[in-house]
Structure 1
């Protein structure tokens, strides 16, 4: 608001000075003999100065545009790598979500009674937007509190926070939407999984049957983890320690970077650059083109007076 106010004040002052100069110079032209000839002599110098300043601005703006393009290319490369890591995490989440690690009846319970409830709704129950979220929190859970883990995994498979049910074929977009990234960051998606496997696994051990995960799926999960970060997961085994590191890495590294790079790529061109484009245009029109036209076609002296102003 204040920036816009200052811009308006600057525009008004500049306009007032311009009008004042036009009035003074035109009045001088009417009352001073030979004033137009003096203006003609100065016009060549004026064109030279304006052309020189325009050239400097043109080089600066061209360099700025190239730097911005190069910067965005680097950010796109980084966000592409991070997006691929997120794809791998979501593939792991998909395998676990669709596996038989859950207690019997949990999937039916969640997909029938709370099919239209998302992890984000539960996290935002205090806003009072979802009665179902409040019902869920008041419900007596009979699945060893794994309902929350189920919903958290499900949230990682979403690509839109408004989704309530995930599609049969999980979408892996080129870039994730800002809306879903913001929700992942806001509610620290993955942190609940990290906490359970890192600190409370003993309480959940009887409720999560990892022996039910097929051998080929275990190998795929470990391979994906190595692809995400070979240094962290190189010698990992399929156990609670591995999953603790996995979800910690997602929560502390991948999702924050995804958010950071996305905000950088969405960053707008500085307002100063737009102002410089306007200055460049004004210099070219009123500092070069109008004076040259005045000299070549003998336009009214008012044209060059406006140009000077």
Structure 2
């Protein structure tokens, strides 16, 4: 992996090195030409106005593109933030539903004490990632002979959805609803498909687990609250639903497929830095303005040494070479990022 990274960095540096060498070589050749032919200075000076015009035009084109790109980024980010707010609100409502189920009496007697006392500090992610060998308590848990019809996994999964960090060990009495969820916990929820347990236990395998999960033990007022929250999440998806195993299965599938992926994506996009292509073009813009416009102008206005023109011409030509050899590479990176 290190060799690949080194080769990638080396590949990226090659155009820069060659451009630098080209710039030095051009300065040397122009100096030699000037020494051999004094009239060459007059020729270069006469071309400076055209050179400034071309560099200025290219700079203006890039500047307009950068301005449009910045406006587009601003609009895109505003759209992402707006959608993020809506999806975050859905996640808040879903976690409230999960909190009600988690604290309800639908579980087999003794399950809560078994998990929260005997395996205090154990979380769902450690169980799912036991193969990494980082959690002894997770391995002990998996080696235990449980007497709760395998519903302890669902309990741990719901518990994980009430966490706000993968490192949380306990769930507070009143769960928190952050303005923006920690991206680490969202990534864990997404990686382990948290919420799909509702679909598995109340849908796909409900016949197996129905005796161990007593939905009638959920208070009626809590059932009503859950249905109101579900309709707030998506009134169309849960319009004709009532509190039962079919609804919970549907809710788990909806959250796993519709909400969590969007929550992760929108949060990622909202914190995404400026694209490298924009930085790349801005660097070219600055170089063109300084070496292609300002330096030749200073030469004309203040009668600076002809070396200034040598540097200006050489740098801009080298810059064009650099663009020609790296632009496709930057485009490919942006397209695949």
TM-score by length of 2: 0.87
The answer to whether structure 1 residue 9 and structure 2 residue 4 are counterparts is no
Which whole-Å deviations, capped at 9, do the CAs of 1:224-249 have from their partners, x for residues lacking one? 10111111211111111111111111
Other-structure match for 1:157: 162
Partner of 2:237, secondary structure, is: helix
- Choose from 71, 77, 80 the match for 2:76: 71
Does residue 194 of structure 1 match 2:199? yes
- Mean Cα displacement is larger for which, 144-153 or 87-96? 144-153
Q: 2:257 aligns with which of 252, 261, 265?
A: 252
Residue in 2 that maps onto 1:140: 145
Q: Which residue is equivalent to 1:100?
A: 105
When the two structures are superposed, what TM-score results if normalisation uses the length of structure 1? 0.95
1:267 deviation in Å?
4.1
SS at match of 1:162: coil
| Corresponding residue of 1:180 | 185
State the 1:189 CA deviation.
0.8
Could you say which residue in structure 2 is the equivalent of 1:167?
172
The range that moved more, 200-209 or 213-222, is 200-209
2:312 matched residue in structure 1: 307
Question: What residue in structure 2 maps to residue 37 of structure 1?
Answer: 42
Quote the residue 2:31 is aligned against.
Answer: 26
SS at match of 1:169: coil
Q: Deviation string for 1:266-300 (max 9, x for gaps)?
A: 44433332221111111111111111111111111
* CA distance in structure 1 between the partners assigned to 2:206 and 2:59 by the alignment: 68
Query: Which SS does the other structure have where 1:82 is aligned?
Result: helix
> SS of the residue aligned with 1:232?
coil
Structure 2 equivalent of residue 208 of structure 1: 213
What's the CA shift for 1:3? Answer: 4.6
Q: 1 CA distance for matches of 2:249 and 2:39?
A: 88
Structure 1: distance between partners of 2:311 and 2:139: 69
Q: 8 Å contact 2:108–2:148 — kept in the other structure?
A: yes
- Residues 201-257 of structure 1: CA distance to partner in whole angstroms, max 9, x if unpaired? 233233223223222211110011011111121111111111111111112221122
- For 1:269, the equivalent position in structure 2 comes to 274
Counterpart-to-counterpart distance in 2, 1:162 and 1:33: 74
1:60 maps to 65
Question: Tell me, which stretches of 5 or more residues in structure 1 are unaligned?
Answer: none
Are the aligned partners of 2:230 and 2:238 in contact in 1 as well (CA < 8 Å)? Answer: yes
The number of residues matched between the two structures is 309
How far the C-alpha of 1:34 sits from its partner, in A, is 2.6
- Residues 198, 251 of structure 2: 8 Å contact kept: no
Given the alignment, which residue of 112, 117, 121 partners 1:112?
117
- Deviation of the 1:301 alpha carbon: 1.1
Deviation sequence 1:116-162 (CA, Å, 0-9, x none): 10001111111111111111112121223221111111011111111
Distance 2:131 2:55 in 1: 62
Q: How many angstroms apart in 2 are the aligned matches of 1:145 and 1:47?
A: 76
Structure 2, unaligned stretches of length 5 or more?
A: 315-337
Q: Distance in 2 between matches of 1:199 and 1:20?
A: 72
